[in-house]
């Protein structure tokens, strides 16, 4: 996946989702981080991510027991996702 690592973190206090992408190798990419929950996807701004960079996007919400997946939409390469996760305590 574009020579990097994508992960999703579900936080309970406050309830939020963090999607993180670390670019480990290769050339710059233009990408948007996002998440999908209940069949709907949301994305953050388009950004350039270079080797060694860590991109993070956070969404605050109050849907404590729904599953979500983290997403990265890379221009020219498609969309990649994490395994599903749930909020702590669900």
Which residue matches tokens 């890379």? 74
> Residue 2 pLDDT more than 60?
no
For residue 10 the two structure tokens come to: 């579900």
User: Are 54 and 18 a contacting pair, CB within 8 Å?
Assistant: no
Across the range 8-36, mean pLDDT stands at: 92
Residue 26: partners with Cβ closer than 8 Å, 6 or more residues away:
2, 3, 4, 51
- Residue ranges in 25-90 assigned as alpha helix (H): none
Convert the pLDDT of each residue in 42-70 to its tens digit: 999 999 999 999 999 999 987 667 899 99
Contacts of 78 (CB under 8 A, 6+ apart): none
């Amino acid at each position: 996946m574009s020579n990097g690592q994508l992960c999703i973190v579900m936080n309970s206090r406050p309830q939020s989702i963090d999607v993180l992408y670390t670019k480990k190798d290769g050339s710059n990419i233009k990408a948007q981080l996002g998440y999908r929950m209940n069949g709907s996807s949301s994305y953050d701004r388009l950004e350039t991510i270079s080797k060694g960079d860590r991109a993070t996007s956070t969404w605050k919400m109050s849907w404590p027991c729904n599953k979500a997946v983290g997403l990265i939409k890379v221009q020219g390469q498609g969309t990649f996702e994490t395994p599903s996760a749930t909020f702590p305590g669900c």
